[in-house]
Structure 1
Amino acid sequence: MTSLDIETPDGTAEAYLTGEGPGVLFFIDAIGLRPQIEQMCDRIAGWGYTVLAPNVLYRSGTAAQTSPTGDLRAPGAREAYFELVGPRLAALTSDAVMRDLPAYLAALREHSEGGPGGLVGVVGYCMGARLAVRAAGLDPAVVAAAGFHGGGLVTEEPDSPHLALSSARAEFVFGHADNDRGMTPEHVERLGQALAAAGLTATNEIYPGSPHGYSMADTSMYDEPGAERSFDALEALLARTLR
């Protein structure tokens, strides 16, 4: 495991790199590139993959500057922290993401099996699920794409993430949070319709009882059944597509 810097058109993004084997690009949630993310990357790497997690919030600061210093499992701590998150997400526009993605994918391929143009997988959590969908739509060599407790995957905007599915070639796995205002059952249904219209193989499910953020063990939203279900689904997806 190591850290590296990725040069993008807009600056330098730190990244966490771990494992060896086929490449998996890990898109973080809005809480930042922090020990919890590194632990999740290490777990995926343990299945036999090279995992790269860039600090996609680099426009707002370093990984340390954009990660919490307190315990987000304490009552009200997560909610208070998210008061800082809005401006960071505002800086991460869809145009900015599309400028960043080629650099992240190139860095992953440089350090994983397969070389330039090699087949890779992507996985994203919360806001990172949107980035995973955009990456799959951008690069047809992305053969596996997963999103867990993602929000805003289906919007009325002309750059809604779900519209990128029309150019994707990946197999998709989505594990949506239960009672998520950012991804309602109607949104999930529309996402399923877009997946079907694009002719994509996909699993598109709501995890009962698992709240938004269910996979993050360092916050008050952690739900072990949902988290373990997501890891099982991701491991199976990667095995089907990258092995």
Structure 2
Amino acid sequence: MIITTEYVDSPVDDSPMRMFVAQPKAEGKYPGILCYSDIFQLTGPMLRACARLAGYGFVCAAPEIYHRIEPPGSAIPFDDDGRTRGLADASKTTVAQFDRDARAVLDYLAAHPRVSSGRLGVMGFCIGGHLAFRAAFNRDVQATVCCYGTGIHNGKLGQDEDAGSRARAADISGELLLVWGTCDPHIPEDARALIETELQRAGTKFAVKLYDAEHAFMRDEGARYDPEATDEAWGEMVGLFRRVWQ
């Protein structure tokens, strides 16, 4: 589908949270999806991912996750300094702040004139995969995709010592898709097993897709990008959203 895009500023905690919003150009109502970036915020790869998802028939909103720290429009470079900066920004943000941001974007989508009533989902990459996992605790979220979400297994997220996300698996009422790369050192096999065991114990409806790929394999820039695995993962992600909202 042809899409349109815009930037929208929405205040959260007296801080302007900038969002990249992409939606189908064709008239009608569509499900709304909160899209989370990695630690580098709204870079070219993230904007393209958000736009691509919108092209399948969704209204997508991607927030700047460090809006309390970085000036609006700040995309962090994909280099060592940028990685240090992104991790430092994360360490200055509390889990409660991340959670309030999630609720703010979901409320924005729920009130959006192009979003179908009661149809909300979430997706995210890296730290955004963890944020997506937590956003799924909101009862109005029906489907969530976590792409190589970091810190879910050990609670590492933001300023807090332990986000306690894994222990809250029972709070996820919608469906969940976990996308992992088997060569990802950040989420090794034992870490994935911890998450899956907790989800099984909680009775969460979830699926796991494993790819012979590295961390950030879906980011279409850099040496770790795997086009084939990315396309397969995209098929699974869009398939979940369409099945839930068919």
Q: Deviations over 1:222-243 (max 9, x none)?
A: 1112211221111101011122
Work out the number of aligned pairs and report it. Answer: 231
Does residue 191 of the first structure (1) align with residue 190 of the second (2)? no
Query: How far off is 1:12 after superposition?
Result: 1.2
Paired position in structure 1 for 2:53: 44
Q: Which of these residues, 209, 212, 215, is aligned with residue 215 of structure 2?
A: 212
Gaps of 5+ in 1: 73-77
Paired position in structure 2 for 1:230: 233
Does residue 179 of the first structure (1) align with residue 183 of the second (2)? yes
Contact 1:188 1:204 (C-alpha < 8 Å) held by counterparts: no
Paired position in structure 2 for 1:168: 172
Residue identity over aligned pairs, in percent, reads: 22
Paired position in structure 1 for 2:27: none
Q: Deviations over 1:108-144 (max 9, x none)?
A: 11224234xx22110010000111111111x111110
Query: How far off is 1:67 after superposition?
Result: 2.4
Q: What are the equivalent positions in structure 2 for 1:1-243 lying under 5 Å apart?
A: 1-20=5-24, 21-68=30-77, 72=78, 78-111=79-112, 112-115=114-117, 118-137=118-137, 139-155=138-154, 158-208=162-212, 210-243=213-246
Query: How far off is 1:80 after superposition?
Result: 4.3
Tell me the C-alpha RMSD between the 2 structures. Answer: 1.7
C-alpha distance in 1, partners of 2:68/2:222? 24
Q: Deviations over 1:179-237 (max 9, x none)?
A: 323211111111111111221221123311x1111111122321112211221111101
Contact 2:76 2:86 (C-alpha < 8 Å) held by counterparts: no
Query: How far off is 1:83 after superposition?
Result: 2.3
Contact 1:55 1:62 (C-alpha < 8 Å) held by counterparts: no
Task: Name the SS for the 1:22 alignment partner.
Answer: strand
Higher normalized strand content (fraction of residues): 2
Query: Any runs of at least 4 consecutive aligned residues in structure 1 with deviations exceeding 4 A, and if so which?
Result: none
Contact 1:120 1:242 (C-alpha < 8 Å) held by counterparts: no
Higher normalized helix content (fraction of residues): 1
C-alpha distance in 2, partners of 1:119/1:54? 19
C-alpha distance in 2, partners of 1:163/1:132? 15
Task: Name the SS for the 1:59 alignment partner.
Answer: coil
What residue identity is the alignment partner of 2:223? S
